[in-house]
Amino acid sequence: FQKHEFFVDMTCEGCSNAVTRVLHRLGGESFDIDLPNKKVCIDSEHNVDTLLETLKKTGKNTSYLGEKSAQ
């Protein structure tokens, strides 16, 4: 799996719950939400476009930050 990092303009718990909801719908995603820094890190076999489209369903301002190297 590739680790991707996205910026999602989340301001509250409700926002991060929305992100969780859309990602669960995609299925099989392992992800980490960093609410204070407005970042979502996703382990996925899906491509970036799919993930970006999915995150945009939350209605939040979203952008791709890049690949995260496995540490």
Phi and psi angles of residue 21, each rounded to the nearest 5 degrees, phi first: -60, -50
Confidence of residue 70 (pLDDT cuts 50, 70, 90): low
**Residue 3 amino acid letter:** K
pLDDT-based confidence at 29, cuts 50/70/90?
confident
Cβ–Cβ under 8 Å, residues 62 and 48: no
In this structure, which CATH number among 1.20.1530.20, 3.40.50.410, 3.10.180.10, 3.30.70.100 belongs to the domain 1-65? 3.30.70.100
Q: Per-residue confidence at 71, pLDDT binned at 50, 70, 90? A: low
Question: What integer pLDDT is reported at residue 2 of this predicted model?
Answer: 83
pLDDT mean over 13-27: 95
* CA dist., res. 10 & res. 68, Å (int): 20
